[in-house]
């Protein structure tokens, strides 16, 4: 039976299985979901076993478990390590979801659920592709290892600890990851770069209690005033980050890179309209693709302090909080950037306000040369299924583990993603387009068989 027919015949069953997995709220950032995380890992291990993989193991860690499986019966053939993650982002603001985030729902050829595209849906495809080959042919054309973690959305601390204890078991000729996106519908891409990341939390404290704005207003510092002026100082009015030295280790965008980005032929006007924006916005003379692919950022992810309820409360808040992340490129060192930001904050905090800075996640940027044969083969596989050759891109997101894998395993990392850019990753109404579910299964089979 050819694979198109096989996947068509099994489509309903596959989607029902995926829905089961997506129903488990495996939010890694929130400790109350610990049991859900374990359940998602356990579901995954069962699936891997049913697919015909061997040595399936749920590896406990100090955090959320790792899931390993392998199938090593193709002597002389390369060994591929398939990596992905079964954890998902938080779901708030919950009221903006059209259907509940953990009640998967198919509408208009898309499956809606938290984790649908990032990354349960894409991990699931690899399992089903392997299962298909084993059922159809009884053996795999390559040696395969699956290694799926539950802490990707919180920067993979347990996986990093596991790798630092020796990555011998994971030795592979290449790492294969599906956690990125097509350029747009029908236009596949292979990602050759990912931005790094660093995060920090900032708090400003003033009085030892909230104060009445009548009795004290005008005579005492207001933590919110201190916070907004501090945060406003982080950017200039050209959209550039004002932190001294922030751009020191950023490489100038080369003409070759600009040309590669231009191939994406992004319709900025359509993007603007799709996002409901009055205008795109960013640094100087860069295109959107260049800004996101090759320029660093400093983003406020959350700011809060004082009264948030209905009506008015005439209070002078005693504290204010901000959550900040940076996306990093080229040779920017996350620790160095965090230090520079802290220096900026300590310099710019207003008199009478006390600053607290908690540094968080750190990940380097990743880059790979598009001319590598494994990347060229991947582009071929896409071409056979989608009818158009994949473009080599750089993604603005961060998969912190990619740079670590490429460094510790000394292996190329192939980023072969099947999401779409507008699938609301990390936002309400996350979804995954089923055209790419269907074509992705075939593309993975093509790729494995071509190696």
Work out whether the CA dihedral 106, 108, 113, 117 comes out positive or negative. positive
Per CB under 8 A, which of residues 326..345 are in contact with a copy of itself?
A: 327
Nearest distance from C-beta of residue 271 to a copy of itself, angstroms: 8
Q: Considering the complex, what minimum distance in angstroms separates the CB of residue 369 from a copy of itself?
A: 22
Q: Please state the closest distance from residue 34 (CB atom) to a copy of itself, in A.
A: 12
The distance of closest approach from Cβ of residue 326 to a copy of itself in the complex, given in angstroms and rounded to an integer, is 9
Q: How far is the CB of 74 from a copy of itself (least distance, A)?
A: 35
Using CB under 8 A as the binding rule, whether residue 256 contacts a copy of itself is answered as no
Residues 116, 130: Cα–Cα separation, whole Å: 20
CA-to-CA separations, 405 to 80, 99, 166, 320, 439, in angstroms, rounded: 12, 36, 12, 38, 27
Nearer to a copy of itself, 145 or 340 (CB): 340
Binders of a copy of itself among residues 113 to 172 (CB under 8 A) are 154-155
In angstroms, the Cα distances linking 297 to 150, 198, 332, 370, 444 are 26, 10, 11, 25, 33
- Binding to a copy of itself by residue 288, rule CB under 8 A? yes
Binding residue (CB under 8 A) for a copy of itself from 23, 26, 47, 89: 89
Which of 316, 345, 411, 415 is the binder for a copy of itself (CB under 8 A)?
316
Q: Does 174 bind a copy of itself (CB under 8 A)?
A: no
Least Å from the CB of residue 253 to a copy of itself: 13
Is 65 or 293 the residue whose CB approaches a copy of itself more closely?
293
Work out whether 31 is an interface residue with a copy of itself (CB under 8 A).
yes
Q: Which stretch binds a copy of itself (CB under 8 A): 75-83, 257-265, 312-320, 439-447?
A: 312-320
Residue 282's SS3 state is coil
Indicate the residue among 132 and 365 with the shorter CB distance to a copy of itself. Answer: 365
Find the helix or strand (DSSP H, E) in which 57 lies: strand 54-59
Residue 72 per-residue DSSP state? -
Residue from 101, 150, 188, 221 touching a copy of itself (CB under 8 A): that is 221
Q: Which residues contact 410 (CB under 8 A, 6 or more apart)?
A: none
Please state, in angstroms and rounded to a whole number, the distance separating the CA atoms of residues 415 and 374: 10
Q: What is the CA radius of gyration of the chain?
A: 23
Question: Is 393 one of the binding residues for a copy of itself (CB under 8 A)?
Answer: no
Q: Which of 285, 308, 369, 371 binds a copy of itself (CB under 8 A)?
A: 308
Joined together, the tokens standing for residue 97 give 């979801």
Which residue reads 């050819």 in tokens? Answer: 2
User: Strand 196-205 to strand 319-328: parallel, antiparallel, or no bridges (unpaired)?
Assistant: antiparallel
Q: Which of the stretches 8-16, 140-148, 215-223, 400-408 binds a copy of itself when contact is defined by CB under 8 A? A: 215-223
Strand, helix or coil for residue 35: helix
Shortest separation between residue 232's beta carbon and a copy of itself, angstroms: 4
**Residue 178 CA: distances (Å) to CA of 20, 70, 122, 147:** 20, 18, 6, 12
Q: Does 235 bind a copy of itself (CB under 8 A)?
A: yes
One-character DSSP codes across 137-192: HSS-SSEEEEEEES-GGGT-HHHHHHHHT--GGG--SEEEE--SB-SBTTB-EEEE
Among 285, 312, 369, 371, binds a copy of itself (CB under 8 A): 312
Contact pick of 67, 182, 197, 374 for a copy of itself (by CB under 8 A): 197
The answer to whether residues 437 and 121 touch, using CB atoms and an 8 Å cutoff, is yes
Task: With CB under 8 A as the rule, give the number of residues binding a copy of itself.
Answer: 98
Under the binding rule (CB under 8 A), the answer on residue 252 touching a copy of itself is no
Determine whether 62 is exposed, middle or buried from the number of CB atoms within 10 Å of its CB (0-12, 13-18, 19+): exposed
Residue selected from 51, 425, 445, 448 as contacting a copy of itself according to rule CB under 8 A: 425
**Contact with a copy of itself (CB under 8 A) among 79, 105, 242, 424:** 424
Figure out which of the listed residues 167, 250, 253, 303 binds a copy of itself, where binding follows CB under 8 A.
Answer: 303
Output the smallest distance, CB 436 to a copy of itself, in A: 16
Cβ 331 to a copy of itself shortest distance, Å: 18
Site map 95..124 versus a copy of itself, x via CB under 8 A = -x----------------------------
Phi and psi (nearest 5°) for 225? -60, -45
CA atoms within 13 A on the CB side of 201: 6
Can residue 53 be called a binding residue for a copy of itself (CB under 8 A)?
A: no
Give the separation between CA 451 and CA 448, rounded to whole angstroms: 6
Other Cβ atoms less than 10 A from the Cβ of 433: the count is 23
Nearest approach, Cβ of 53 to a copy of itself (angstroms)? 30
């Amino acid at each position: 039976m050819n694979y198109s027919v096989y996947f068509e015949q099994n489509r309903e069953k596959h989607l029902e299985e995926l829905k089961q997995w997506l129903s488990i709220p495996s939010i890694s950032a929130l400790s109350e979901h610990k049991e859900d995380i374990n359940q998602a890992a356990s579901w995954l291990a069962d699936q891997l076993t049913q697919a015909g993989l061997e040595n399936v193991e749920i590896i406990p860690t100090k955090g959320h478990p790792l899931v390993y499986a392998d199938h090593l019966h193709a002597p002389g053939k390369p060994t591929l390590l398939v990596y992905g993650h079964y954890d998902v982002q938080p779901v708030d603001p919950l009221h903006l979801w059209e259907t509940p985030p953990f009640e998967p729902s198919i509408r208009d050829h898309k499956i809606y659920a938290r984790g649908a595209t990032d990354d349960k849906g894409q991990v699931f495809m690899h399992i089903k592709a392997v299962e298909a080959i084993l059922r159809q042919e009884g053996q795999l054309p390559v040696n395969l290892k699956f290694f799926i973690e539950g802490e990707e959305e919180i920067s993979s601390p347990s996986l990093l600890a596991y790798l630092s204890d020796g990555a011998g078991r994971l030795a592979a000729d290449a790492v294969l990851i599906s956690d990125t996106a097509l350029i747009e519908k029908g236009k596949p891409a292979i990602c050759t770069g990912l931005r790094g990341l660093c995060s920090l939390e900032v708090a400003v404290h003033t009085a030892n209690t909230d104060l009445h704005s009548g009795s004290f207003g005008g005579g005492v510092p207001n933590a919110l005033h201190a916070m907004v002026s501090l945060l406003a100082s982080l950017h200039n009015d050209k959209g550039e980050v004002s932190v001294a030295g922030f751009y020191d280790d950023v490489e100038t965008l080369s003409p070759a890179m600009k040309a590669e980005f231009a191939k994406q032929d992004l319709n900025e006007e359509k993007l603007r309209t799709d996002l409901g924006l009055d205008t795109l916005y960013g640094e100087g003379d860069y295109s959107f693709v260049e800004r996101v692919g090759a320029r660093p950022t400093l983003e406020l992810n959350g700011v809060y302090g004082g009264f948030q309820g209905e009506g008015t409360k005439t209070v002078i808040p005693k504290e204010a909080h901000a959550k900040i992340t940076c996306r990093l490129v080229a040779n920017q060192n996350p620790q160095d950037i965090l230090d520079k930001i802290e220096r900026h904050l300590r310099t710019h905090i207003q008199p009478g306000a006390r600053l607290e800075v908690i540094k968080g996640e750190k990940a380097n940027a990743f880059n790979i040369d598009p001319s590598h044969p494994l990347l060229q083969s991947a582009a071929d596989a896409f071409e056979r299924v989608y009818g158009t050759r994949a473009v080599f891109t750089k993604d603005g997101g961060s998969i912190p583990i990619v740079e670590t894998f490429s460094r510790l395993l000394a292996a190329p990392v192939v980023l072969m993603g099947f999401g779409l850019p507008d699938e609301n990753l990390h936002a309400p109404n996350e979804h995954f387009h089923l055209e790419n579910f269907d074509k992705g299964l075939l593309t993975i089979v093509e790729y494995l068989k071509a190696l």
